[in-house]
Amino acid sequence: MRRVEEQEAATATPTFVWRIPNTPNGRCSGVAAQNRDCLHVDPPTGQFRYFSTNPSHTPVAATVRDMGVTQQRVWWSWHDNNSTVFVWGSVDRVRKSVRMTMLQRTSTTTTRSTRSREGTP
């Protein structure tokens, strides 16, 4: 009887950066100053950046300790050290959807921003 050795197939995970405009007017580029209403997700380094529609706002950017990456999905949650900004997000390559929720708290208000987009990479 001949013995056949089986090798476990490696799981293909994303090795690139997604630049996802939120609206048709959203602009995404490699130059930070030119981005508006855009989400950058970098699975290999576990980073994300969100550029709002307001050019004077500083983008929310962070390295996420627990970014999950599979062949189909990338998901993350993050909060700043002062617990004033909370972000949850996911990109699904098979369903072609992007979802992100960001909460920003101040001493008097809480602002919630939600992104949801279909038809992404």
Residue 86 lies in a domain: yes
pTM of the model: 0.72
Instruction: Tell me how long the chain is.
Output: 121
Residue 4 lies in a domain: no
Q: Which two tokens stand for residue 43?
A: 């699975």
The whole domain housing 69 covers 18-118
* Total number of domains in the chain: 1
Is the confidence at residue 75, as pLDDT, over 90?
yes
Residue 87 lies in a domain: yes
List C-alpha distances in Å: 36 to 45, 98, 116. 22, 17, 16
47-58 pLDDT, tens digit per residue, is: 998 888 777 778
Give the per-residue pLDDT at 47. Answer: 92
Residue 92 lies in a domain: yes
Give the per-residue pLDDT at 88. Answer: 92
